[in-house]
Amino acid sequence: MSHLLDKLRVFIEELQPFALLHDQTTPAPRQALPSNIAKASLKSWDKAVFASELINLNIVPPLDPAKVGQKKADESNVGVGQVQEGTYSGTQLALTEMYDRIERGYISYFDAMSIENTIPQTTALEEKKTIYQYQRPGKDKYPPHLDVIPTMEQTVPWKIFNAVGLSDAASLLPRIVPDTFLGDLGSAAQSTFLDVIDGEPWRGPTIADVEGRNHYDKQSGTDIERGANIGDLPDWYSDARFAQQQFTGTNPTTITRAHDSLILNIKTAANAQGLTAVLELLTSTHPDDLYVQDCRYFRRACGYGPNDVMIDEDKLGNRFSCAAISLFHLNPDGQLHPLAICTDYKGAMEKSVVIFNKRLSPSDSTASEKEDWPWRYAKTCAQVSDWTRHEITVHLTNTHFIEEVIIVATHRFISVEHPVFKLLEPHWLRTLSLNAAARETLVPKIIFDLIGVPNEKLYGFLKHAFQYFDFQGKYIPKDLPARGFPLEELDDPKFKNYAYGKNMNLMWNAIHTFVSSIIAISYTSDSQVATDAPIQAWCQEIRSPTAGQMPSFPTITTIPALIDAITMCIHIASPQHTAVNYLQDFYQSFVINKPPSLLSPPPTTLSALQSYTEHDLIKALPIGHQRLWLLSAHVPHLLSFRVADENNLVNYALSLWNLYKKKNGEGEKKVKAAAEKFYEDLRGLIGEFEKNSERMTEGSIPYNVMDPKGTAVSILI
């Protein structure tokens, strides 16, 4: 054991936690295979070995349609599975392999049903209307989507669906998570020290213990940060890191200038607590410099009353959610600083717990930050709220589900020869099959089971997100100013850390210019757009209460309106989804940075919160909860694989140019020129985005997720 401890000390001494603050582009050298097989790291399961074990454990969907759905009702719940024992790392790999198989099953089914063809086919528009239909409203609990899951009465589709193993795929993911994890600390004497650390990253009993084990429990490096996560930084819990995540984390899309009424409520709370310095700061600060992450609508969106406890009760223990409000001060030098947090809004500020930061400025001493447990707990509440808002609203609804509405309507009413179809279709790669797999498996069986709200309430939350999505209001030139980020001021020092906003404004302009050039080939007057029957039918279908159910989609009668709408469709599928998806592993696989739920109820009084110690924070975190930790850490990993070179936005522009480079038609030459300009613009953005990242406050985590070379052309994952 002593030689292992020596190795551990050397590792810690050599560890350079800030290495991830620099771009890592040099590939790691190949390593020799260990002489002892027990020391060899399993990166992925051999597919045949994995399949054989699934059959051995009877974790397979039935092929007899009559037996579908006849399992015990609780077999698909978290905590019940046919794998009785397993290791943490082995289960991670099994989840990755199983979900990949489910996705590939849906891809096969969609191919067989001519929904997403591997080999392109020409299908008449009228026939496509029978293939692409919205699911009847009320048939399931999701927003509008493609009607894809067949009934037994649909004999041929059902046989295909059943044959590729999808008839009961929803039960498979939770059933491969073992009831008992091997490597328990009780048997540590029978394991090496490093085995215990590597095998049990959820173990405490202190925050420092979790931090230490995080250095060893690294994923395979398939994400954009190559396996690193925020827990590698010694100050991951700090105000600076917490604030930075609002601008360049997984959800940089909802931070908004605070309304006067909210500022007044916060001032009232400060006054009631006798915090003169806070009150003076809030009074002297210009309202335009106060920003908020506001989740107080959560209870209403879920269907709770203002005083109801948001709790999901199951036999493994209760999980709680919260509706946090976080107030930030944006300083002239660009540093965002948290001032106050309402940990769980209950209808009125005076009925809720509001705590203020002891540090009123980024320049204040950080000596007490690490052990300011009440404030650290409040920041955790804010992160829990944002986990739900990001995953269900910003990511799942505002990209995946909104784009699906567009895809179905376009297939139904716009022919493949139409310029709108040609512009949009490249940005749909795998999206429909991916969404179907997520609706049937990942969302209800994994993601929902991490949040501290029952599934029925979460479906309500999801529908609320869809109903309140403002398609035109989310156009970047409208959205940024509406949230307090004027376009003409984005280059000011004040906004130097909002790299997402700066980058997305530039990316929107590049896409908009490209779309404008392509549309100009076919349309020279607004009347042509207004009288284009497919475009008018397309708009009507998306807006219809029995089809797309998106009334915020425009009625398009002008060329500028058409260009804006198409730009938005591409924006959602490509740069927007990339920005809100591919950083999840970095910020959320270190679970205590951004947990999906609390394991103990939020305090109901300020005095209770002010008495909190490290022990109280640990009780609220999934430390010691094996399954919850595993799923919380691994879902971000599943969703963060790096984009393949052939699927990035640059390759789309390059491919289009190469397709048209030797064509000589007048319109074809214009397409070639548009593709070349788009390529040049994207190439220029690579340097601009690097500069925007470098201009952020020294020590900031680089913001490289929107690099055009890594921006997915569609919603691929």
Structure tokens at 104: 């590939």
For residue 702, whether the previous peptide bond is cis, meaning omega lies within 30 degrees of 0, is: no
| Average pLDDT of the segment spanning 466-490 | 99
Q: Which of 127-131, 213-217, 698-702 has the lowest mean pLDDT?
A: 213-217
| Averaged pLDDT of the chain | 87
Res 521: pLDDT: 98
Confidence band of 1 (pLDDT split at 50, 70, 90): very low
Name the residue ranges covered by the structural domains of the chain.
240-381, 386-589+637-710
Q: How far apart are CA 512 and CA 475, in angstroms?
A: 11
pLDDT value, residue 582: 96
Q: Quote the DSSP letter at residue 257.
A: E
Structure tokens given for 541: 């279908």
Which of these, 524, 515, 514, lies nearest to 420 by C-alpha position? 515
Q: Residue 9: pLDDT band by 50, 70, 90 thresholds?
A: very low
Instruction: Supply the pLDDT for residue 12.
Output: 38
Q: What are phi and psi of 290, to 5 degrees?
A: -110, 125
pLDDT the model gives residue 382: 99
- Indicate the residue type of 508: W
pLDDT digits (tens, 9 = 90+) for 210-228: 898 887 665 555 544 557 8
pLDDT at site 84: 55
- What's the pLDDT tens digit per position in 147-161? 987 665 565 565 666
Compute the distance between CA of residue 199 and CA of residue 617 in angstroms, rounded to an integer: 23
The CATH T-level fold of domain 240-381 is Nuclear Transport Factor 2; Chain: A, (3.10.450)
Comparing 56 with 674, the larger pLDDT belongs to 674
DSSP secondary structure letters along 77-98: STT--S--EE-HHHHHHHHHHH
| Tokens, residue 326 | 């976080």
Give the tokens for residue 520. Answer: 């100009």
pLDDT in tens, 499-555: 999 999 999 999 999 999 999 999 999 999 999 999 999 999 999 999 999 999 999
Question: Is residue 708 helix, strand or coil?
Answer: helix
- pLDDT for the residue 613: 97
pLDDT bracket for residue 368 (50, 70, 90): very high
Cβ within 8 Å of residue 111, ≥6 positions away: 117, 118
**Helices (H), strands (E): how many in the chain?**
29, 9
pLDDT value, residue 190: 29
- pTM (whole model) above 0.85: yes
Q: Which CATH architecture has domain 386-589+637-710?
A: Up-down Bundle (1.20)
Q: Which residue has the tokens 């092929």?
A: 63
Query: Span 402-414, mean pLDDT?
Result: 98
For 414-425, give one letter per residue: b (16+ CB within 10 A) or e.
bbeebbbbbbbe
Instruction: Give the up-direction half-sphere exposure of residue 398: CA atoms within 13 A in the CB hemisphere.
Output: 28
Q: Quick one: three-class SS letters along 169-181? A: HHHHHHHCCCCEE
3-state secondary structure of 368: coil
Distance CA 461, CA 310 (A): 12
Contact 714, 573 (CB under 8 A): yes
Q: What is the pLDDT of residue 151?
A: 63
Helix (H) or strand (E) holding 329: strand 325-330
Residue 313: strand pairing partners:
318
CA nearest to 674, candidates 465, 501, 526, 518: 518
Residue 106: the pLDDT is: 86
pLDDT in tens, 268-322: 999 999 999 999 999 999 999 999 999 999 999 999 999 999 999 976 679 999 9
Q: pLDDT over 90 for what percent of the chain?
A: 67
pLDDT at 101: 83
Decide if 265 contacts 257 (C-beta within 8 A).
no
Q: How far apart are alpha carbons 432 and 155 in whole angstroms? A: 22
Phi, psi of 168 (to 5 degrees): -135, 30
pLDDT at 629 > cutoff 80: yes
The DSSP 8-state label assigned to residue 42 in this structure reads -
**546 vs 80: CA distance, rounded Å:** 38
- E strand or H helix that includes residue 263: helix 260-272
Share of the chain above pLDDT 70, in %: 83
> Which one has a higher pLDDT value, 144 or 88?
144
Residue type, 110: F
pLDDT digits (tens, 9 = 90+) for 65-97: 444 444 433 433 333 344 556 666 777 788 888
Asked if residue 3 has pLDDT above 70, the reply is: no
Supply the angle between the helices 533-543 and 402-413 in degrees, to the nearest 10.
Answer: 140
